[in-house]
A and B are shown apart, each in its own frame.
Chain A
Amino acid sequence: MTTPIPTEDKRLFAYPQDRSCPWQPSSGYRELGERGPLHRVRLWDGKSIWMVTGHAQARRLLADPRMSADRSRDDFPAVLPRLDAPIFKPIAIIGFDPPVHDIHRRMLAPDFSLKQVRALRGSVEELTGKLVDDMLRKGPPAELIEDYALPIPSMVISELLGVPYDDHAFFEAKTVGLLQAKSAQDAEAAGRALWDYLDELITAKEREPGGEGVLSRLVGRVDEDGDLTREDLLRIALALLLGGHDTTSQMIALGVVTLLEHPHQLAALRADPGVLPAAVDELLRMVSVTDVSGVRVATEDIEIDGYVIRAGEGVLVSSSMTNRDPEVFPDPYRFDVHRAGGRNAASGRHHLTFGFGIHQCLGQNLARMELEVAFAVLFDRIPDLRLAVPLDGLPTRSGGTMQGVHTLPVEW
């Protein structure tokens, strides 16, 4: 079914818009945010949805059970062409509503808990140190994505899931192929390659039970008439593998760029390692590596602060703009590692980069730990690190909602 685009919709703000600075949203987003907390925006397919830039409204909507995350619904918006690919409908956990979401999420909770993450820290410090050893042996220069930012989360999620890291070049390339695809067809092809790979891997684990990692453990829980079918497990494996390395690697890379471009902030961080957790959350707020805190569809009419979201209308919460709501973050475009004020270890955690509500990022504590280790080890071991190309010469991702650079040349 095709609906002609009403003339007025052609004048709506087009979402998404590329950044011109790696850590700041486009000026168009900024102007939009200044006009109010909710906006009608136009997507690639001509459909219009709500874009939420107000922090309080975003939290309420993301915690509202009348907002559905079910990507298999006909009225669920495809924010980008790639999200029209069948592989994304439905993607595990993030694309399901309760009760299925809650059942699968709780199966994974022990593997991503704070205790588990703290237990992993030593081994992450060790592998990170080895990556720096290799960089120092080979360089300068170095390519920070391939040499550092990507292998850290990629090795960690491989180990955690029980996916052989020897296959990293394959699954990393297909993940980029899926998440950066410009069409549904390209996304589907990359996604199917990952699906087939994971299908073989799970078959091998079924033949030899008792192996290490989340997937081996869950293979033992598969019950076609119960809470976890084999297809559920494959969808979970795909979601965890995708979600576990691409955004974290780009957050490491863009975090390094942001720190290098704010030398006083970097110096403040180096002078007081106790600032590190708050600095990581300030970087998460500032960079907003994925601009989508959440996409939902209203299942009923919802009134919020004088706006009415009608049943069937799509809603997108922008992390880069809700993270710059001046009601919550004074002088919001300023990068300040002391923003949290040291009052409380958690007081810098109000940003919505990991989302809010029941879908808040499953791997957030793992990501925070990897980021802390990555920044601490890198700037400790290579104190005179610098970009090897001008900032405006960095090859940046475009046309999507996930920020990133294709390569990050550095020297020292």
Chain B
Amino acid sequence: MKVTADRRRCMAAGHCAISAPTVFDHGEDGLVVVLDADPGEDAREAVETAEDLCPSRAIAVETAGTERVPAR
């Protein structure tokens, strides 16, 4: 699955780095950094939790050509 994070939307809530610490981290500015943009399926539940909890809708998950863009 393809994972992207929009740093222009990120508000540094930190849910992603807690939900999926192998996929997301934070930079010195506190904002999201994607560590693994193409994680394996075993990370799916954690990545989807991160996407769901992100309050500023900064995370998007794309699976086999179908992109899920969070509602704005």
Closest to B21 in A: A345
Would you call A346 and B15 a contact (CB within 8 A)?
A: yes
What range describes how many residues of B lie at the interface?
A: 20 to 34
For B13-42 the 0/1 string (1 means CB < 8 A from A) is 111011100000010111100000000000
User: Which residues of chain B have C-beta atoms less than 8 A from A346's C-beta?
Assistant: 15, 18-19, 46, 49-50, 53
The winner among B13, B46, B50 for most chain A CB atoms within 10 A is: B13
Q: Does A60 contact B (CB under 8 A)?
A: yes
User: Which residues of chain A have C-beta atoms less than 8 A from B72's C-beta?
Assistant: 63-65
Q: Does B64 contact A (CB under 8 A)?
A: no
Would you call B15 and A112 a contact (CB within 8 A)?
A: no
CA distance A349 to B52 in the complex (A): 10
Would you call B30 and A360 a contact (CB within 8 A)?
A: no
User: Which residues of chain B have C-beta atoms less than 8 A from A102's C-beta?
Assistant: 11
Closest to B13 in A: A360
Closest to A64 in B: B72
Q: DSSP majority for the B interface?
A: loop
Q: A114-B26, A346-B49 are in contact. Are A360 and B14 (CB under 8 A)?
A: no
Q: Does A357 contact B (CB under 8 A)?
A: yes
User: Which residues of chain B have C-beta atoms less than 8 A from A364's C-beta?
Assistant: 13-14
Would you call B55 and A63 a contact (CB within 8 A)?
A: yes
B window 51-65: CB within 8 A of A:
52-53, 55-57
User: Which residues of chain A have C-beta atoms less than 8 A from B46's C-beta?
Assistant: 344, 346
Q: Does A115 contact B (CB under 8 A)?
A: yes
Q: Does B12 contact A (CB under 8 A)?
A: yes
Q: Does A71 contact B (CB under 8 A)?
A: no
Q: Does A347 contact B (CB under 8 A)?
A: yes
Q: A109-B12, A350-B53 are in contact. Are A344 and B19 (CB under 8 A)?
A: yes
CA distance A224 to B18 in the complex (A): 38
Would you call A113 and B14 a contact (CB within 8 A)?
A: yes
Would you call A112 and B49 a contact (CB within 8 A)?
A: no
Would you call A358 and B30 a contact (CB within 8 A)?
A: no
User: Which residues of chain A have C-beta atoms less than 8 A from B57's C-beta?
Assistant: 63
Would you call A115 and B26 a contact (CB within 8 A)?
A: yes
User: Which residues of chain B have C-beta atoms less than 8 A from A62's C-beta?
Assistant: 55
A295 to chain B, nearest CB (A): 16
Q: Does B45 contact A (CB under 8 A)?
A: yes
User: Which residues of chain B have C-beta atoms less than 8 A from A360's C-beta?
Assistant: 11, 13, 55-56
Among A65, A112, A358, contact of B55 (Cβ-Cβ < 8 Å): A358
B30 to chain A, nearest CB (A): 3
A48 to chain B, nearest CB (A): 28
Among B13, B14, B29, B49, contact of A106 (Cβ-Cβ < 8 Å): B29
A96 to chain B, nearest CB (A): 13
Residues of B within 8 A of A (CB): 11-15, 17-19, 26, 28-31, 45-46, 49-50, 52-53, 55-57, 71-72
Residues of A within 8 A of B (CB): 60, 62-65, 102, 105-106, 109-116, 343-347, 349-350, 355-358, 360, 364-365
Given A114-B26, A344-B19, 5 other A-B contacts at CB below 8 A? A102-B11, A112-B30, A114-B18, A115-B26, A365-B13
